[in-house]
Chain A
Amino acid sequence: MRLVIRNLQVSYDKIRALHGIDLTISQGEIVCIIGANGAGKSTTLMAVSRMVPVEKGSVMEFCGHDLLGYPPEKVVSELGISHVPEGRRLFGNLTVRENLTLAAFARNDKAGIARDMDQVFTIFPRLQERISQLSGTLSGGEQQMLAVGRAYISGRKLMLLDEPSMGLAPLLMISMFEALKEINKSGTTILLVEQNARLALKFARRGYVMENGNIVMEGEAMELLDNPDVKKAYLGG
């Protein structure tokens, strides 16, 4: 399985946000995209999940399927690509259980759904404790757990994560990344976007650095951590 992106261009109202980026991810990898605010990281994820329209000439393939031929809901239900968007976008008027049930809306394998639910509760026992609570009343950390849990159930060949560390206390950040590693070990490929570059690069195997809608650097995460330019720009010297 591979996600192949070539010459991806996205514009918002005539202003170009992505200037033709190339990106490849193999089965089982953890890949991160780092960069400053407005570099185009979230837009890249939204293009993959088909939440934003792309310009002509953009190429996106997943497991040999042309992503451009799929509407957003089928990217999830048929290709197994889930997206934890910026701000998590939980349904705050629904309980934890309902949020998770809804994530299985397009699935018909009852046994499989039950197994995945159990798996989510094994990874995030806290969610089980909060199961009947409205998701809008959860703490930030719990909301992030639910967002990831929801993605795990809706489609988990490839998980796109937009700032999983956002708003979390340092200790929670680490346990969140440990949970993600566990999910990755179970066979889910992960592409994540982070402003916390140090954390992301320690967690990922490979990384891309974005600036102003372009990919300016790519490589092994360890190399990027040691790269003087990356250090200076994103790791605080």
Chain B
Amino acid sequence: MQLFLQNMVNAMQWGSFYALIALGYSMVYSILMLFNFAHGDIFMVGSYIGFGVATALLGLTVAFNFPLPGWVILVFTIILSMFLTSFVGMFIERVGYRPLRDAPRASAAITGLMIGIILETGNLALLGAERLSFPPLIDTVIFTVGGVHLTNKKILIVGVSLAMMYALHVFIQKSKWGMAMRAMSYDFQAVPLMGISINKIAPLTFAIGSGLAAGAGILYSLAYPVLDPYMGVLLGWKAFVAAILGGRGSILGAALAGFVLGFIEIFSVWIFPSTFRDVIAYSIILLILTIRPHGFFGQAHSTQLRL
């Protein structure tokens, strides 16, 4: 039982990363019917931006001899990095995807893969092959509750992730921009008839998705403080699987499936040797998708599918 709870805690943390990244895939898919295959690499870029912001803030506090507590720097790092990374997303939309809006979806998918490669190798060219280590902004504090080890970081990661998801939910349900995004997911072509420019909603969606990916990147770096240019590849693909598992274009589904994926991975390690993790985990997911091809909340698209 104790071990079970411990695994639950770990799975919640691990699932948070998948969920936050999967949301970006799903949001873009729901309004533009395309999967942004560069999204995993936006997570990577977000982590590096987080590294840059954190390092700069630490440098400033030293330069001005104005020591700030680590958690203050962390808060600023998260906010600033999400903000900056959202521009990366908007830039990718503008340069990579907008010119292909009426092109076959396969072209857009290939473009996404290429943008991903450019981001990875561009990073390699710019910063070199050496791995960076994310500055330890806060110290790890371990609590033991009923034999289950909790750390302040795990609580923070899960808490901040859930808060971000809730904020996204409120934004999509209550704001007029969120309303426009929902409308666009229902009928792409009718949106301009309401006087709304698709070229405003699409960048906004990329901005939010990229911001969430950056948030995930910094939270991830808190737990695993090693940055390398390819860190977003496998994680990105797995989050993409979560987006599919949740149901293409379903926001709630993506978040839920992110956590489900985390649970399946962590629990397969509990039961089987850890080298078997992904084989077991993804066989299970394959099985789920065989039974539910449209995922948890996906609908069989008919008229609106633009693939």
Q: Quote the shortest CB–CB distance from B50 to chain A (angstroms).
A: 34
Contact A105 B192 (CB under 8 A): no
Asked if A213 CB lies within 8 Å of chain B CBs, one says no
B179 touches A76 (CB 8 A): no
Answer whether residue A103 sits at the interface, using C-beta atoms and an 8 A cutoff: yes
* Residue numbers in B under 8 Å from A106 (CB-CB): 194-196
In this complex, how many residues of chain B approach chain A with their Cβ under 8 Å: the count is 18
Task: Say yes or no for B301: interface residue by CB 8 A criterion.
Answer: no
Residue B274 at the chain A interface, CB threshold 8 Å: no
Task: Say whether, besides A101-B176, A102-B179, A89 and B193 are in contact (CB < 8 Å).
Answer: yes
A85-B197 in contact given A101-B176, A105-B176 (Cβ < 8 Å): no
Using Cβ atoms and an 8 Å threshold, which residues of chain A touch B186? 91-94
Pairwise interchain contact A85-B190, C-beta atoms closer than 8 A: yes
- Closest chain-A Cβ to B171's Cβ sits at a distance in Å of 14
User: With an 8 A cutoff between CB atoms, is A71 at the interface?
Assistant: yes
Least distance between A105 CB and chain B CB atoms (Å): 5
Across the interface, B176 reaches (CB within 8 A) one of A76, A77, A102, A150, namely A102
List chain B residues, Cβ under 8 A from A51.
189, 192-193
Q: Does B187 contact A (CB under 8 A)?
A: yes
Q: Report if A155 contacts B (CB, 8 A).
A: yes
Residue B182 is within 8 A (CB to CB) of chain A in the complex = yes
CA distance A71 to B199 in the complex (A): 11
- Residue A20 lies at the interface, judged by CB distance under 8 Å to chain B: no
- Report the Cα distance A72→B182, complex, angstroms: 19
In chain A, positions 43-72 with a C-beta closer than 8 Å to chain B are 49, 51, 71-72
Q: Does A73 reach chain B (CB closer than 8 Å)?
A: yes
Q: Which of B183, B185, B198 has the most CB atoms of chain A within a 10 A radius of its CB? A: B183
Cβ–Cβ < 8 Å partners of B92 in chain A = none
List, in ascending order, chain A residues with CB within 8 A of B191's CB: 73
- A189 CB within 8 Å of chain B: no
Q: Report the minimum CB–CB distance from B132 to chain A (whole Å).
A: 43
The answer to whether the Cβ of A154 comes within 8 Å of any Cβ in the partner chain is yes
Interface string of A95-113 (1 = CB under 8 A from B): 0001001110111000000
A72 in contact with B183 given A101-B176, A105-B176 (CB within 8 Å)? no
- On whether the beta carbons of A89 and B195 are closer than 8 Å, the reply is no
A13 CB to nearest B CB, Å: 13
Contact B194 A94 (CB under 8 A): no
Choose from A71, A74, A92, A102 the contact partner of B194 (Cβ within 8 Å). Answer: A102
B34 within 8 A of A: no
Verify A71–B193 contact, CB threshold 8 A: no
**Bound: A73/B180 CA distance, A:** 13
A102 touches B189 (CB 8 A): no
Q: Does A82 contact B (CB under 8 A)?
A: yes
Q: Which residues of A contact B195 (CB under 8 A)?
A: 73-74, 76-77, 103, 105-107, 154-155
A98 B192 Cβ-Cβ under 8 A: no
Question: Is B196 within 8 A of A105, CB to CB?
Answer: yes
Residue with the highest number of chain A CB atoms closer than 10 Å, among B176, B185, B186, B198? B186
Q: Which residues of B contact A150 (CB under 8 A)?
A: 194
- Do A154 and B193 touch (CB < 8 A)? yes
Residue of A71, A89, A154 most packed against chain B (CB within 10 A):
A89
Instruction: Report yes or no: B176 in contact with A82, Cβ–Cβ below 8 A.
Output: no
Contacting residues, chain A, for B193 (C-beta < 8 A): 49, 51, 72, 76, 82-83, 85, 89, 154
A91 and B182 contacting across the interface, CB-CB below 8 Å: yes
A76-B182 contact given A91-B187, A102-B176, CB 8 Å threshold = no
- B176/A89 in contact, CB under 8 A: no
A94–B183 contact, CB under 8 A? yes
Give every chain B residue within 8 A of A83 (Cβ-Cβ): 193
Chain B: which residue is nearest A135 at the CB level?
B186
Chain B hits for A98, CB < 8 A: 179, 182
Expressed in whole angstroms, the minimum distance between the Cβ of B101 and any Cβ of chain A is 13
Chain A nearest CB, measured from B184 CB (Å): 9
* CA–CA, A94 and B174, complex, Å: 12
A155 to B192, CA, bound (A): 12
Q: A71-B192, A82-B193, A102-B194 are in contact. Are A94 and B182 (CB under 8 A)?
A: yes
A-B pairs, top 3 by smallest CB distance, nearest first, are A77-B195, A76-B195, A72-B192
**Sampled A-B contacts (12; CB under 8 Å):** A73-B194, A76-B193, A89-B189, A89-B193, A91-B183, A102-B176, A102-B183, A102-B194, A102-B196, A107-B195, A154-B194, A155-B195
List 5 additional contacts besides A49-B193, A93-B186; criterion CB under 8 Å. Answer: A71-B197, A73-B192, A83-B193, A92-B186, A93-B183
